[in-house]
Structure 1
Amino acid sequence: MKHLKRIGQTMKFAVLAAAIAGLAQTAGVANAASLHTAKEGDTFFLLAQRYGVSVDELTKANPNIAPGNIYAGLQIMVPGDTGVKAASDSKPQLLKETEPNEGPTIKAWGKTFNYSKVVDVKATAYSAAGDENGKWGAVDYYGNPLKLGTIAVDPNVIPMGTKVLVTGYSHPGLPDHSFVAVARDQGSAITGKRIDIFIPGSKSFVNDFGFQNVKLYVIDK
């Protein structure tokens, strides 16, 4: 009987161990993702940069969310354990200029860009609102839907299709410190050393950008 009792105790310990392991595994799954409560202006692109994941990973983790329909209060699943990073951990690498033998470069977001010149411009911002885009609607000069990374320029100063690293601005609807943009749009008010930056979000949210002095690095395509 003692032997049978010992076997019974052993089985109880085995069941308990399995239960604990199951709980640990469940906790691991719970910690493997975090929820982000969306704010106005959030996009999968911005969240991917903030949390250190790819846009594809965010899309797969949120199959029921349309990337173009992110609104304030929406719960977005962030894959991995990056959702609880401190704010300082989510900041991108600061800009750093170097001048190696092959020509000037600038580092941003962990990448090195070769640039041919630097242009200081006055910047404003525009949204997809109808009254800001005329009869053509929320499309760029080529008829493509407006998206983050589109800027309007004076083609006599910055030729259409020019790729630039935009730096020196401040707005919650844009990536911290810098972002890559392409001159895809024009506007009658954008003349000389002026650019207009498209920012996703409401007109009032975008208008908080105001007028800012920014620096453009014309980078190789």
Structure 2
Amino acid sequence: MEANIRRFLPGNGSLMKLVISVISLILFVGVVIYAVYETTKATVTVMVDEEEVTVQTHASTVAELMMEQEWDVNEYDHIEPSLDTEIDGNMLVTWQPAKQVAITIDGQEQDVWTTADTIEELLHELDIAYTDHDNIEPAVTTEISEDLAVNYESAFQVELTSDGEQQEFWTTSTTVADFLERENVTLGELDRVEPALEERIDEATDIRVIRVEKVTDVVEETVAFGTVTKRDEDLENGKEKVVNAGEEGQVNKHYEVVLEDGEEISRELVKTETVKESQDRVVAVGTRPAAPSVSRSASPSPSPSPSTNNSSGGQSSGGSSEASSGRTMTVTATAYTASCSGCSGVTATGINLNNNRNMKVIAVDPSVIPLGSRVHVEGYGTAVAGDTGGAIKGNKIDVHVPTKEDARRWGRKSVKITILD
């Protein structure tokens, strides 16, 4: 260096020495200044995610320190002390960078920045007071990482009615089918659920499991016997004789019964099984003409005494007439059928006219004609007084005929009847 200086300043040794001294002084001052600059730097320890980084800085604030170190600071980061804090010697700065997390809360998705360490701390930051019944995925102890996805569903109570019991359960939003599966409620093939299995439930939902079963009910029913009349020439006209008393039959009716929670909802007849056939009541009706009465002439004889006359008269006019033809009267007669309006087809004495369309039955006023009596009706024949009617009062009867056309033809008429027994 001295040789170079001499080349520029030939022949001037004193000047050269002066220059060398100035340069040396400048270098010394520079070294001193640099030493002073370095020794006046503040020492700052920065804790980043629990890792220590120590730096020397002349930055006046924490913010300038971050810029000086070219650290990318997010507005959601947690820095303590704050960015505008002035730096002094041996300072500790805690820096916790925020992470972005996707969280779905009861179906609503959002992105949040957080400095929380775990999901539990994140929920606390979001003011979510979770319970053990809530659904949180992943678990609350999971550490927060970048781009973590969190799902939170708050629980609510629903009422379940099943098998005669009402219970309340905590659940999150789900379908009825998933809820029943989670609560181990088994459904039968015919069971119904309200609301439907595919419906989603909420806090206003009440779930009802309806147990449905089909059973067979066998009902025994009697079948009334019919009455058949046949002409008998061996019997005097107007007389009747029971040849066969008749016998009721029996059928078993099989019903398919639908029960919901033990209560009958419907029944359907699926089969009728004849157990025993009914046997008709057979009545022989006499057709032989009655023997004519013979009048005999006799010579006059003394009049009998009053007592003798009364006795003889009682026998001839009272006893023989009552025995041969019974009590006779004139009545007003109308006609009806088993299928008339308001009729059940079964008489007051239990005769099933639906199964015995041709049976001769009359409706009577029991105070005039006793029920069960055999009555001969002029123009109709011998019938059983087996029914009553609201309009049949006094000397009125209603004759049963097979069809409505027969009833129209009969009309209303006055007839002579004889009560046989």
Q: TM-score, normalised by structure 2?
A: 0.25
Which has more radius of gyration?
Answer: 2
Q: TM-score, normalised by structure 1?
A: 0.44
Q: Identify the structure with the greater helix proportion.
A: 1
Q: Identify the structure with the greater strand proportion.
A: 2
